[in-house]
Structure 1
């Protein structure tokens, strides 16, 4: 048997009409303010009175006054309705301009790579946006955690998310400190890692990640062993710098310690390319101005960095050509 379903009337139905009549003590003036007919206002008030179970207005042919029930209802309903209107305007404001709290779920290793170079400039450019960064290696549920977006390596992002590229693809490099390599044979092939202490990463699902490589056209996953397991690349990098063992980390993370001599790059011909770092958010969610502003800011900074790198490469090529 088919059931009958009815939509429950809202407790707010007729309240705006009541407040307008209570203010003007006149149904026609209340109707003009609301942009409806006097009969529509009268019907809304009658429906409200029926739902409450008490007359709110004392009506005569010449005047409209509040009953005792109407006075009590007005004293509570007016501030509550004004607060609701203010809440609606505040929410609408966030939908129209970059403002409010921007919450990002970010792995620790990405903070120095992506956020530190841009966050100060972003905060200066958008002073009405507060940025909260939750640094964790856990794959969080953005909606359940109240996050606007997350930042992750591309291969870790679910396919139903909208992904925005923040970096170009980069290799995963094996690195070791000069102190660690002193007295040890430099690995020349993937199998040589069996003779080395390798620092490993535990994934968010609890498994220990193998080290991925490419050997010609073939993908290889090496099962390595060593004295340390960590949950993030930043910890692995720090341990490698201190000579605990070899680590495989994203190349941008290792760039500075390689440049200043604290680390050496190893097995470069076998390095696998990762897709890069992406910002992601649920595909069905409307992009609020605060998030759109952050995306455009990061993209703009990334374009500037890429152009700067290209200019530097061109200058180096020109110097080499002139030196010949």
Structure 2
């Protein structure tokens, strides 16, 4: 078999992580066509197909899965060794890739990232917004931001914001046509804006009062896949929305939205930065985690 260098395997690893020629090519800094030629050349030298390609998807073959399982740890060790040199510079240098839900990005993450980048101008950060949970390691992310209760147990989590409380809101005009609910089950008679996750599951609105928990399956004229869109639709008078206080408090103060069922709205633990436990944390991630810890509530 012809000799193959580590540089020949780097495009394979990038494509295996993204499962998309366009995204992988963007990271490498080449065209999808050039990346495709590089992968074909590697497959030709190995005399094995590493990816199954269709017009809609890219998937590893059995040979590709085996190769990825063997070389990915070695490349991580090389990355760790090179990144360890960052500690000698005294200042973080490099790039971080963070996966976060849209709501957490706007409410908590982006303001903190802006402050971090002011302090560390030699760091770049890429935020990918996805409301659904992803396999952070296989997708090549350094960290993620989500609610504490949805973070996998094998992750290290750092709180980065205060506790969050839900809020049930609607435009004032809506309650000129419908009675204001005084109990969660009254929502079933109101036009509510549904929230559907990427998995296809329709979210049941959660309430709690005096230790009693209630989940309500609401109905209405509109279902969206994003909480910010729920708020926008409520502002247009489309229906009742389930949001967070920090999202809607300005609209409540401006009397563009009216809040109901406040005594049924529970608090949540808030947003967390989470990252996988690794033998050696990259210096740039360590600096970011330390910054987040210092910025956490109560610090």
Normalised TM-score (structure 2): 0.68
Give the CA deviation at 1:279. 0.7
Cα deviation, 1:19-67, whole Å, max 9, x if unaligned, reads xxxxxxxxxxxxxxxxxxxxxxxxxxxxxxxxxxxxxxxxxxxxxxxxx
Q: Check the 8 A contact 2:80/2:282 in 1, yes or no.
A: no
1:131 matches 2:138? no
Local SS of the residue matching 1:159: coil
Aligned residue number for residue 207 of structure 2: 213
Local SS of the residue matching 1:279: strand
Matches within 5 A, 1:81-160: 90-94=82-86, 97-160=91-154
Aligned residue number for residue 43 of structure 2: none
1:270 matches 2:264? yes
* CA distance in 2 between partners of 1:285 and 1:268 (Å): 45
Larger Rg: 1
Matches within 5 A, 1:221-260: 221-260=215-254
Aligned residue number for residue 56 of structure 2: none
Q: Check the 8 A contact 1:167/1:277 in 2, yes or no.
A: yes
Q: Check the 8 A contact 1:149/1:281 in 2, yes or no.
A: yes
RMSD, aligned α-carbons: 2.5
Matches within 5 A, 1:183-202: 183-202=177-196
Q: Check the 8 A contact 1:95/1:288 in 2, yes or no.
A: no
Local SS of the residue matching 2:241: strand
Change (3 A) 1:290 1:190: same
Aligned residue number for residue 174 of structure 1: 168
Q: Check the 8 A contact 1:172/1:272 in 2, yes or no.
A: yes
Local SS of the residue matching 1:249: strand
Normalised TM-score (structure 1): 0.63
Give the CA deviation at 1:272. 2.1
Gaps of 5+ in 2: 6-77
- Aligned residue pairs, count: 222
Matches within 5 A, 1:50-69: none
Cα deviation, 1:90-132, whole Å, max 9, x if unaligned, reads 5433455421011100111112201232222211100111010
Change (3 A) 1:196 1:218: same
Find runs of 4+ consecutive structure 1 residues off by over 4 angstroms: 86-90
Gaps of 5+ in 1: 1-10, 12-85, 308-324
* CA distance in 2 between partners of 1:138 and 1:217 (Å): 29
* CA distance in 1 between partners of 2:279 and 2:236 (Å): 44
Change (3 A) 1:234 1:301: same
Change (3 A) 1:89 1:209: closer
